[in-house]
Amino acid sequence: METANGPVPDPELLSLPARHLLDLSKYSASLNGIPLTPVVTSRGCPGACSFCSSSSFFGRRWRSRSPESVLAELDEVYNRYGFRAVAFVDDNFSLSPERVIAIADGIRARSYDLQWWNFSRVDNIVGNPQMVQAMAQAGSKTVFLGIESADDESLKTLGKENQGEATAKAVKLLQENGIEVFGSYILGHLNETAKDVERTIQMAVDLNTNIAQFSILTPYPGTPLYRELKERIFLKRWKFYDALHLVFRHPRINRHLLQFLLIKAYLRFYRRSKKAKDDFRDYGKTQDSA
């Protein structure tokens, strides 16, 4: 893959981020109340999810740093900067289970008291229980999963076919290992009716992840979804591309109804138990400090 300035760089060959040039006190994101710093261990994602802009930025070829390189950065953030929490912000941190296990083993070998979260895919999690165990033993606290929809047809058009039954297994496996799950759902796929959206909301309630995030399907420029919906887009002001607004003419759901369903999703998910409210409040505190 080429960029306007030449071939994309191999992330293994890049120097470590120059955190010393930043006023780190101005960056106050936290995990469980512990200040965190982001760490990028790979770029690109071979997934072909139609709504996702990742491959427009970083390409579909996954390029990863070696465990040694990642651990060298962790040594620096832990010992030089004193961080006790990190966010692995790669689009697909766990694509290579062997690499994740090697990183986790390295954290344990150093006896670091480090907490971390990362993005992952359902199929990577459910197919690799050994990796999940290693992650938990090395301080993994939260995993973000793109669960997306209860509707098989929607998953197929989004590029996440075969995910349906695996989702519950992935959530269970993570939670059994003491790792919290941040589930992300997209409401209003093209084929969906209001009833289908209600099924996704019910699925979120049944899965009982620690956090649920609901978004309205949004066609971001550069994505296959944008190309597909271009003629239907009626809102072009970027401030509405926040996944809280419907910006295209949906063939089956009225715009106001979908916005109502979005609010309903949050109310149904977080009002069902004291624990759900507490999780929401704790997550909100993390966001406030971010």
Q: Which is nearer to ligand SF4, 45 or 131 (CB)?
A: 45
Among 36, 49, 85, 179, binds ligand SF4 (CB under 6 A): 49
Considering only 44-52, 99-107, 176-184, 235-243, which stretch makes contact with ligand SF4 by CB under 6 A?
A: 44-52
Single-letter code of the amino acid located at 238: W
The sign of the CA dihedral 72, 286, 269, 212 is negative
Q: Is 52 in the site for ligand SF4 (CB under 6 A)?
A: yes
Q: Which is nearer to ligand SF4, 108 or 156 (CB)?
A: 156
Q: Is 225 in the site for ligand SF4 (CB under 6 A)?
A: no
Among 36, 45, 77, 186, binds ligand SF4 (CB under 6 A): 45
DSSP string, 1-49: -EETTEEPPPGGGSPPP-GGGS-GGG---EETTEEEEEE--EE------
Sheet holding 115-120, edge to edge: 30-31, 34-39, 85-88, 115-120, 140-148, 180-187, 211-216
Report how far residue 60's alpha carbon sits from residue 46's, in angstroms, rounded to the nearest whole number. 4
Report how far residue 120's alpha carbon sits from residue 253's, in angstroms, rounded to the nearest whole number. 30
Q: What binding mask, one character per residue, do residues 244-283 give for ligand SF4 by CB under 6 A, x or -? A: ----------------------------------------
Report how far residue 176's alpha carbon sits from residue 37's, in angstroms, rounded to the nearest whole number. 27
Residue that is written with structure tokens 């006790």 in the block: 84
Q: In terms of Cα–Cα distance, which of 130, 106, 126, 128 is closest to 116?
A: 106
Which residues are registered as beta bridge partners of 142? 117, 180
Report how far residue 235's alpha carbon sits from residue 213's, in angstroms, rounded to the nearest whole number. 23
Considering only 43-51, 166-174, 208-216, 272-280, which stretch makes contact with ligand SF4 by CB under 6 A?
A: 43-51
Among 41, 54, 96, 208, binds ligand SF4 (CB under 6 A): 54
Single-letter code of the amino acid located at 52: C
Q: Compute the least distance from the CB of residue 229 to ligand SF4, in Å.
A: 17
Q: What binding mask, one character per residue, do residues 139-178 give for ligand SF4 by CB under 6 A, x or -? A: -------x--------------------------------
Among 47, 106, 219, 224, binds ligand SF4 (CB under 6 A): 47
Q: Is 91 in the site for ligand SF4 (CB under 6 A)?
A: yes
Judged by DSSP in three states, 179 sits in coil
Q: Is 121 in the site for ligand SF4 (CB under 6 A)?
A: yes
Considering only 49-57, 109-117, 129-137, 272-280, which stretch makes contact with ligand SF4 by CB under 6 A?
A: 49-57
Residues at the contact surface with ligand SF4, assessed by CB under 6 A: 45, 47, 49, 52, 54, 91-92, 121, 146
